[in-house]
Structure formats: C-alpha cells, structure tokens
Chains A and B, each alone.
Chain A
Amino acid sequence: MTVRFRFPRGVPVRRQQPPAVRWLGVVGLIWLLGPAAWAAIDAYTFSNDEHARRYRVLVDELRCPVCLSSSLSGSDSPISADLRREVYRLIEDGKSDDEIRDYMHARYGDYILYRPRLTPFTVALYAVPLVLLAAGALLVLRIVRARRRLATPVAVDTGAIDVLLAKHAPVADRQGDPAAPGPRSS
C-alpha cells in the first residue's frame, strides 16, 4: 500500500518565494559569475601557447601595487596594465618565471608577490604560532600529569586501620570480646 503525501487544505500546492528573496537569488548568482568577467582584457599575442599559459599564471600570482588585495589579472588600475605589459615583454624576451618574479620584487618589494619570499624574518613569523602551540601543549600536559598524580590513591595500610578501628569501636560492637579494651580504657 503506498502512502501519498497530501498538502493540508488551504496551502497552495506550489509555494513561491517572495520577490525579495528571488531577487537576492538572481543577484547572488550574478555575483558568483562576476569573477569570470573581472579578468582584465589585454590583447597580447604570444609567440606560443606556453608563453600564454605562463603569462596567465604570473599575472594571477603578482599583486596589484595600488589595490589592497587584487592580482594583476584582476585589476583595472593603470599601474597593473603597465606591469602586465612588462610581464608580457619579459616572457617574450625569454626570461624565466623566477627571473620575472625577481624583476618585480626588485622594484616593488615583498608586497608584489602573493607568495612571500622565505627570509629569516618570514620563517620566524610562520614558526612563532607553532612554537606557542607547542609550548601551550606542553603546559597542558604538565598540568594534566600533576592532577593525575594527585588523584591517584596512595597505597593504604589496611592492617593498621583495622587495629585503630578495633581500639576505638563503640562498646555495643564488642560484646563478648574479652580482649578488646573498653571505650575509656587506659
């Protein structure tokens, strides 16, 4: 027997989102498609496909100097257009990717590279959080071990406890035991 789901009476079969929500959806979709349109349109003719591929990778890797966070490929600024032209010229001149990055770095400094150079300073920067994490973990370990030591019961001498209990037990418990001393025994 199949069970059919029925909408309760009074509810329209087809639910429509209110206009505001639908517009949000459309805008959201367009916004997601936006980045594809951001790629700057430069008509460069490369001597081969490898050059074209390297160009696309490099202009994504190099940062626009005037933008707070945008690559050369994603920026409309005049300086970015100039630098894209430089990248094109350097690729066509036969420079390697590393040489091009060095060229840009020599002129614009660390900021222009999305992947910062590994210098003693940046290595220290990366290391500090890890060191702090390790130190914190060690501290936690030490605290946990100290607590555990406190919680572990010390070996107890049950024999001595029994003697003490027998010595000070109430009189009612000791009916018929002549060896046991009274409550106020000397």
Chain B
Amino acid sequence: MNRLSLFVPFAVFVVLAALFYVGLGREDPHKLPSALVGKPFPAFQLPRLDAPGQRADQTALRGRVHLVNVWATWCPTCKAEHAELNRIAATQGVAIVGINYKDDPNAAMEWITRFGNPYVWTVIDADGKLGVDLGVYGAPETFVVDARGIVRFRWVGDVNERVWNDEFVPLLGELARESGSA
C-alpha cells in the first residue's frame, strides 16, 4: 500500500471534473443533434410555392450540394436570417431550397416577393409532415444535403454571418473537395 495509490481518488476526480467541464459546457441543451446526418433526405412530393401547379420531390436535390432552409412567416427568427440568406444565395455560389413549414401560402408568397427570394425553389409543407420526417422541431432550421441527396448537417436557429463562416463554409469546402475527387 504505497503512498502513490492514495492519490488515485484525486486523480479520478480530476479526470471526471475535466470531462464534466468540457461536456456540460459544450452545447445549448435546447439544440438537438440531428438523427438524419448520414441518411438520405426523406422522400417527399409537395406542391411548389413559387410555381403554382407544379410539385417537387427529393430527386430534385441530387446533382449538387443544396442548403435546405425550413422557414415560415410566423417565425421572427426566419425574418432575421432572411437578409443573410439573400446574401449567401447571391454571393456564395450555393443553391438554397426552401420548405415553407406549416404556413399560409399567400402570406408566404407575399413575404418572398417583398423581402427577396433566395430560394431556387420552395415547397409548401402545410401539415408539417416533411418537417416531422426531417426531425424539425422549430423554425428556422437549415440542412446541408450533398449531391447524392444525403443529409450531412443540420443547423437549428438563424444563419448569420458568424454561423455561416464557422459552421457552413468548412463543410461546404469539404463537400466540394469530395465531389472534386469523385
């Protein structure tokens, strides 16, 4: 029974304290990790908001990287991020697709007419069924879908410039390299 073994409990405490410090300080408990990362974008067939009479389905997400933005007119944070989405669509060379979530299509149409339309196309998810399939629990949420239609990332909350630079740009760079070497 040597003196060194007396320090074992202390060592265990230090290790646990470090783990707790890192683990508990890490994320906002309100933000859930997406269960869909690595899985194909769920199948859907929904009417287009911006092209009345037409429909879109998940195959439209193949061929290039897309950002899928879940938004609604009743969501104030969506309004706050809209300018940033406009900027990204215009300058960053990435296609943004919209899902109008549990909203009034007329109000939604008026919204994008007034505030600008960053979306290549937008579908109407009136009853929120696609939202449930995506694990959406509040707007806005933004997904990154790669060229094969696989979900790679989900961001909950508004996309502002800092979020764009910290969270999205590195991933998009990686995806570009992936498809470049494919």
Contact = CB atoms under 8 A, between A and B. Distances in A.
Contacts of A24: none
Contacts of B35: 105-109
Contacts of B32: 65, 108-109, 111
B138 interface: yes
A99 B107 CA distance: 37
Interface in B127-148: 127-128, 131-138
A14 to B, nearest CB: 51
B8 interface: yes
A68 B35 CA distance: 18
Q: How big is chain A's contact interface, by range?
A: 20 to 34
A82 B137 CA distance: 10
B177 interface: no
A146 B1 contact: yes
Interface stretch (A2-10, A31-39, A136-144, A178-186): A136-144
B157 to A, nearest CB: 13
Contacts of B77: none
Contacts of A108: 32, 35, 135, 137
Interface residues of B, number: 23
A82 B132 contact: yes
Contacts of B135: 65, 107-109
Nearest to A83: B132
A132 interface: yes
Given A66-B137, A68-B29, A109-B35, A86 B1 contact: no
B102 interface: yes
A86 B127 CA distance: 11
A146 B1 CA distance: 8
A61 B132 CA distance: 18
Nearest to A79: B137
Given A78-B102, A146-B1, A86 B34 contact: no
Interface in A43-61: none
A161 to B, nearest CB: 31
A143 B138 CA distance: 56
B9 interface: yes
A139 B8 contact: yes
